[in-house]
Amino acid sequence: MNKWEIIKKTVSVCLLLSITFSIFINSDVVLALSQKVENINFGENINFYGVVQDSAIRLVTPTVGVEPTPIGSLTPAVTETPLATPTQETLPSPSPSEFSTPTPSFTPDASPESTSTPFPSPLPFPMPDSTSTPTPDPDSTSTPTPTPTPIPTPSVSPSPSDTEAPSRPECLVTTDRTDTMISLSWSASTDNVGVKGYYIYRDGVKLDVSVTEPCFTDEGLTENTTYRYYVTAYDEAGNESERSTELVVMTLANNITGLNAVVNVDGSILVSWNQVARAAAYELMIDEYESVCIYDTSYLHTGLLPNTRHTYRVRVRYAGNDYGAWSEKKVVFSFPGKPLDVGADIIDDNSVRIFWNQVQGISKYNVYRDGELIAAEVKAVEFTDTGLTAGRDYEYEVRAVSGDSESVENQRVIVNTGTGSISANTVLNENRVYKSFNLKSRIINLNGYRFKVEGDLVQSGGTLDVNGGRLEVTGNYTISGSSYLEMTEEEDYVLVRGDFETRSDNNHENKLTAGTLEVKGNFTRKAGVSANFKASGTHRVVLSGEKQQTIDFSSTNIQQFNILENKNTSGKELIFKNSYNAKIFINNTSGLSPMTVEYHDWNLTGNEVINGDLYIKGKTLNLAGKTLKVNGNLIQTGGTLDVNGGRLEVEGNYTISGSSYLKMTEEEDYVLVRGDFETRSNYGHENKLTAGTLEVKGNFTQKIGVSANFKASWTHKVVLSGTERRL
């Protein structure tokens, strides 16, 4: 028996004696004794848990300085309490630092007859003045079972094997590089136990380095060399994560490498090169005479002419104005200009002629049909293609050739040697040429391109929106049914070499507001709906035929030209079959047919000659300082003729009747009537004839219409200058 076993047995005996003495000894003594025992360090192999938890013992912290109770006051009136048998629990041996004996927190219910009995303490320490531990009532039918406070029990068990790998490193990037060094960083990995470190792989080989942080600098590399990196994480158990994304990095060069020049479609040239280690700046030599200091590794050369030769060299400048060697020379040509105004003429059902404008400095062109090269290095500015099928669309593109370069973003043209049409709304992205075209529905938007019909354009429905483009019709252009011709942009241009006729059922009040409609044949507007040709804004109609032209406008009281310009070159007068119906009329020919002014004012913009009679039935004819010569009679049954500083010459007779005015209020006003002058106006002229000269070579007649229908005043003068006797 070793000494620890002897001590253990001794302590156990003492504790049992204390329990026995609890019948006679104050419970405070027991408490003190138990506390003394608790404070003894018996070593890590001694276990008192079972003894201390004996429910018959109540441990109370003694009060310091309590005097012992005199023995004479002892009254043995304590009810006997049955002893509880301690239950010892086998626990793992705690370490010395962990060993302690916790105090039970349970106190049994006190018996009403139980009292504390003073007793002199035979022990060498004072007994605290405290009530003894009560015992249960023996007459009670149920004895409460105390529940002691649980004692913490350390649990030490071997850890299971760790098989979980850390998470994959993410966001592998380069943070720095020189000609001999590359620095890397990445997002830290996580692990169920803990990440111990990272493996670095360069070009597939694991480096013999110890890395515990998510960063690494690889040194001793070769300049201007490409390296491939990936990273994995590992833990204490040796579990390795999946690979990170591979990162490809090149070390810097110590001189200029990778000089390149890219020709852009806008005509500029982008010059670039690789970064040089420890460079302070770069010197770029352009075309052997222009030096540019650059702090980046690229330069955009702009403002270049098409198809021009340019050279580039670069050298590095280090700190202290030391320079490296010049790079090799790079020679490039700016992009050739693209051929413009690419068009086509239909020769017959099977062949077409493609033509384009000459590009400055270019002598060769490549011609493509439907994306395939059909003619290489054509030296002319036209090409004839044969073997086509009528009714099919063919797309042609012409590219200028300069060295190894071709022009880009070239204009194209679609050609159909048959009759074209559309089945869906169409926005043009190229010029188009058709032998004839039927527009029955949908919208065709020229979108700034040219649309050419070498035959007739028949529009029985849908909308033709010129939209900044150009429509050319070699034949006739007829609009009918639910159709719109839309011209709302200043650049809109429509040329009809044949006749133009509209009988649309749709109102065009806001559809013809800008652009030019040029017609070389007759211009006809027939009944369809009111205002199916009512132009406004800046819209202009130009009549430019080589033969005599006729304007046939029904319902001129509603329909109207906005600006009507006559450029006919036949030498014959323009024929108005109906009343004049233009807001502005510009006549560039020598004469007009008989005219009627009724529903629209006519303000002269130039001298005019009417080869026939002039009828004024309403509105105002304003000479506006110009000369109007009528080679016939002037019959005014309504409206106003305002001389307004101009000159009126009538070869025949001038008759005024009905609701009419002759207005002469300017000193420059001059009216010459070579025939007879007669007025029977129903309007008074008291303030209408105040200046100017009315010269009559025939008879002068005033008849009853209304009083004062010829009442001149102020400086107005009438001159009778005939060569024969007149009345």
Q: For residue 625, which amino acid is it?
A: G
Structure tokens at 207: 């480096």
pLDDT of 26: 54
Higher pLDDT, 104 or 193: 193
CA–CA separation, 516 and 496 (whole Å):
11
Please state the rounded mean pLDDT for residues 357-372.
88
Please state the rounded mean pLDDT for residues 61-68.
42
CA–CA separation, 434 and 473 (whole Å):
10
pLDDT of residue 62 exceeding 70 = no
- The Cβ of residue 305 has, within 10 Å, a number of other Cβ atoms equal to 10
pLDDT of 283: 95
pLDDT of 402: 79
pLDDT of 98: 42
Higher pLDDT, 134 or 351: 351
Please state the rounded mean pLDDT for residues 638-653.
98
**Quick one: 568 exposed, middle or buried, by C-beta within 10 A (0-12, 13-18, 19+)?**
buried
pLDDT band at 90 (very low <50, low <70, confident <90, very high): very low
∠ CA 344-346-350, nearest 5°, is 120
pLDDT of 19: 59
Tens digit of pLDDT for each residue in 425-480? 999 999 999 999 999 999 999 999 999 999 999 999 999 999 999 999 999 999 99
Higher pLDDT, 16 or 547: 547
Tens digit of pLDDT for each residue in 22-59? 544 555 544 554 454 444 444 444 444 444 344 333 43
- Read off the DSSP letter of residue 137: -
Lowest mean per-residue pLDDT among 137-141, 250-254, 303-307, 403-407: 137-141
pLDDT band at 17 (very low <50, low <70, confident <90, very high): low
- Mean pLDDT over each residue of the chain, to the nearest integer: 82
Beta bridge partners of 680: 657
How remote is the C-alpha of 189 from its chain's centroid? 38
- CA-CA-CA-CA torsion sign (648, 652, 656, 658): negative
pLDDT of 23: 47
Please state the rounded mean pLDDT for residues 242-268.
89
pLDDT of 589: 84
Structure tokens at 100: 């302690």
Percentage of the chain modeled with pLDDT above 90: 61
CA–CA separation, 214 and 359 (whole Å):
60
Q: For residue 100, which amino acid is it?
A: S
- CA-CA-CA-CA torsion sign (305, 306, 310, 316): positive
pLDDT of 363: 84
pLDDT of residue 109 exceeding 60 = no
Q: Which of 106, 95, 130, 99 is nearest to 25 (CA)?
A: 130
pLDDT of 252: 83
Q: Which of 155, 159, 9 is nearest to 92 (CA)?
A: 155
Say if pTM beats, i.e. exceeds, 0.75: no
pLDDT of 340: 73
pLDDT band at 411 (very low <50, low <70, confident <90, very high): confident
pLDDT of 692: 98
Inter-residue contact 93 to 186 (CB < 8 Å): no
pLDDT of residue 112 exceeding 70 = no
